[in-house]
């Protein structure tokens, strides 16, 4: 029998913080996680981070500490992200094209993508020995020349260009001050360090973790005035490539930034949706099960989808689930919408939010999401897991190393590739792949990008996470797949 779960609600501003630890005394005396409004942060953008009244939660070396400090870094980057966002709005009026460009696959890149990733990787995590860090902009990101000593003029100037885009002069002071505050944050809170052989102080304890970063998830939304749908996604995976913790931060949600963070193994789960009322608790008794009685014949709950076109499979699925389509941008944002509904929606309806798709996102879009969702009692799995064995390519589930979640490890090839399942597109093909137009199923792992999620995804909150709830989703997916097979493109 599990001991009664304790619920702590530490409130500061309108932040809600839940913790479900078995040992209440463990937390005594620790400071709650403060959340500042973006207005406040803008005013203090150039002040020293160490002078701010802020303290991380979680013991040194814990996942919670890692999430807590990472979240704080997101908050410190907020004024800079906001400035770039406003600059983009002005640009789209004048078509100037100074702070954004198109990548090779036609997707948008802004200096925000490059700067946020560099601030996280090169400043915040510079003290930490991770196993690997994988970022969306990794291939193209401008890296500091190894020979350039830190703090020199050349190093400073290297921060003023990102992927060939020059950072406008008026943004440079903000880049400088954000670098400084995040540097101070890292030095203060990641310094339970020991000296390595080569005399460098490194924060130990996280060597087995791989970090997946999407600096701005929803770049298109970010550069088209829908900033409230974009998010910074940071995920942490263990040595087996299993997502174990994550942070998702929406810098531009209104009226203030919103975030979720969690690590299931430490029973750490926290969020701020900008609400001032606590509705959810982790008490199992209050987490009512989803009603799966489809005979009620009325539309309930929602399936989160892109605002663009959806595949015939997802259209069928909406019919089969008798649910409503809710359109929104960004994977991190959809995940937060799902969590918010599952935590705060009314019992009959809210918990029914689902996010299911047969179209590719990438590991950095889902690693943090999976870590957070599991901490809140939900799951993020491969869609292929829900298909009958005759439909999932070459009977992938029979292979020894098949897993129902994506593998979050650095690698040259796609670790979750199933021959014959994914359709090659310009988004998921590796640069050397020629035949993209053919719309063919790939049987060669070298044709696809290493970090494309080629097996689709199914994400649901705690109330679905019962054998009955999962069976219901599985049956609906199977019926929909018999009408239109998932495209896995």
Interface with ligand NAG (CB under 6 A), residue total 5
Tell whether residue 325 is a contact of ligand NAG (CB under 6 A).
no
Piece of the chain touching ligand NAG by CB under 6 A; list 123-131, 258-266, 321-329, 343-351: 321-329
Beta-carbon contacts of 393 under 8 Å, excluding residues fewer than 6 positions away, are 384, 418, 419, 420, 421
Looking at beta carbons only, is 57 or 328 nearer to ligand NAG? 328
Looking at beta carbons only, is 75 or 328 nearer to ligand NAG? 328
Q: How far is the CB of 291 from ligand NAG (least distance, A)?
A: 27
Tell whether residue 223 is a contact of ligand NAG (CB under 6 A).
no
Piece of the chain touching ligand NAG by CB under 6 A; list 327-335, 348-356, 389-397, 414-422: 327-335
Beta bridge partners of 249: 232, 259
The encoded tokens of residue 142 equal 């401008």
Q: How far is the CB of 221 from ligand NAG (least distance, A)?
A: 7
Looking at beta carbons only, is 329 or 350 nearer to ligand NAG? 329
Task: Calculate ∠ Cα 120-122-124, nearest 5°.
Answer: 45
**Is 365 within any annotated ligand binding site?**
yes
Tell whether residue 328 is a contact of ligand NAG (CB under 6 A).
yes
Q: How far is the CB of 341 from ligand NAG (least distance, A)?
A: 15
Name the residue among 425, 456, 466 with its Cα closest to residue 317. Answer: 456
Piece of the chain touching ligand NAG by CB under 6 A; list 1-9, 260-268, 326-334, 448-456: 326-334
Q: How far apart are CA 409 and CA 422, in angstroms?
A: 20
Tell whether residue 226 is a contact of ligand NAG (CB under 6 A).
yes
Name the residue among 459, 430, 445, 451 with its Cα closest to residue 210. Answer: 451
**Is 136 within any annotated ligand binding site?**
yes
Looking at beta carbons only, is 335 or 421 nearer to ligand NAG? 335
**Is 221 within any annotated ligand binding site?**
no
**Is 489 within any annotated ligand binding site?**
no
Piece of the chain touching ligand NAG by CB under 6 A; list 95-103, 244-252, 324-332, 402-410: 324-332
Piece of the chain touching ligand NAG by CB under 6 A; list 32-40, 122-130, 323-331, 423-431: 323-331
Site string for ligand NAG, 329-358 (x = CB under 6 A): x-----------------------------
Tell whether residue 307 is a contact of ligand NAG (CB under 6 A).
yes
Looking at beta carbons only, is 229 or 428 nearer to ligand NAG? 229
Piece of the chain touching ligand NAG by CB under 6 A; list 159-167, 322-330, 369-377, 396-404: 322-330
Tell whether residue 327 is a contact of ligand NAG (CB under 6 A).
yes
Tell whether residue 366 is a contact of ligand NAG (CB under 6 A).
no
Residues that bind ligand NAG (CB under 6 A): 226, 307, 327-329
What residue numbers does the annotated binding site for Mg(2+) cover?
136, 214, 216-217, 365
């Amino acid at each position: 029998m599990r001991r009664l779960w304790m619920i702590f609600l530490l409130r500061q501003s309108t932040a809600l913080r839940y913790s479900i630890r078995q040992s209440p005394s463990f937390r005594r005396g620790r400071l709650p996680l403060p959340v500042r409004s973006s207005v406040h942060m803008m005013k203090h953008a150039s002040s020293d981070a160490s002078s701010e009244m802020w303290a991380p939660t979680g013991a040194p070396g814990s996942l919670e500490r890692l999430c807590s400090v990472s979240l704080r870094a997101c908050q410190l980057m907020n004024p800079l992200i906001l400035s770039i966002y406003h600059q983009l709005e002005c640009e789209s009026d004048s078509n100037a094209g100074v702070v954004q460009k198109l990548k090779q696959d036609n997707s948008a890149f802004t200096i925000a993508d490059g700067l946020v990733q560099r601030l996280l990787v090169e400043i915040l995590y510079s003290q930490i020995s991770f196993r690997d860090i994988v970022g969306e902009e990794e291939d193209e990101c401008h890296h500091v020349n190894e020979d350039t000593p830190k703090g020199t003029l050349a190093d400073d100037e290297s921060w003023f260009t990102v992927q060939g885009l020059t950072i406008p002069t008026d943004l440079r002071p903000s880049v400088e001050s954000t670098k400084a505050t995040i540097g101070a944050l890292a030095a203060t809170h990641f310094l339970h360090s020991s000296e390595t052989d080569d005399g460098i102080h490194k924060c130990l304890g996280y060597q087995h973790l791989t970090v997946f970063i999407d600096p701005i998830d929803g770049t298109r939304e970010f550069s088209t005035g829908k900033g409230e749908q974009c998010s910074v996604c940071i995920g942490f995976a263990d040595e087996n490539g299993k997502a174990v913790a994550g942070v998702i931060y929406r810098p531009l949600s209104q009226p203030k930034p919103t975030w979720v963070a969690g690590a299931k193994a430490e029973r750490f789960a926290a969020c701020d949706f900008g609400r001032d009322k606590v509705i959810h608790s982790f008490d199992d008794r209050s987490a009512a099960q989803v009603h799966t009685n489809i005979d009620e014949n009325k539309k309930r709950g929602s399936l989160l989808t892109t605002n663009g076109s959806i595949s015939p499979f997802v259209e069928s699925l909406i019919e089969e689930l008798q649910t409503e389509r809710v359109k929104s941008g960004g994977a991190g944002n959809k995940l937060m919408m799902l969590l918010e509904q599952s935590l705060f929606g009314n019992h009959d309806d809210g918990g029914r939010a689902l996010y299911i798709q047969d179209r590719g996102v990438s590991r950095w879009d889902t690693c943090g999401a999976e870590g957070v969702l599991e901490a809140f009692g939900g799951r993020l799995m491969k869609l292929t897991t829900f298909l009958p064995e005759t439909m999932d390519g070459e009977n992938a589930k029979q292979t020894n190393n098949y897993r129902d979640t994506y593998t979050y490890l650095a690698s040259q090839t796609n670790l979750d590739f199933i021959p014959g399942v994914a359709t090659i597109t310009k988004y998921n093909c590796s640069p050397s792949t020629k035949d993209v137009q053919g719309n063919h199923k790939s049987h060669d792992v070298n044709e696809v990008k290493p970090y494309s999620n080629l097996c689709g995804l199914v994400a649901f909150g705690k109330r679905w996470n019962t054998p009955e709830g999962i069976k219901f989703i599985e049956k609906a997916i199977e019926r929909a797949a018999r009408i239109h097979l998932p495209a896995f493109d």
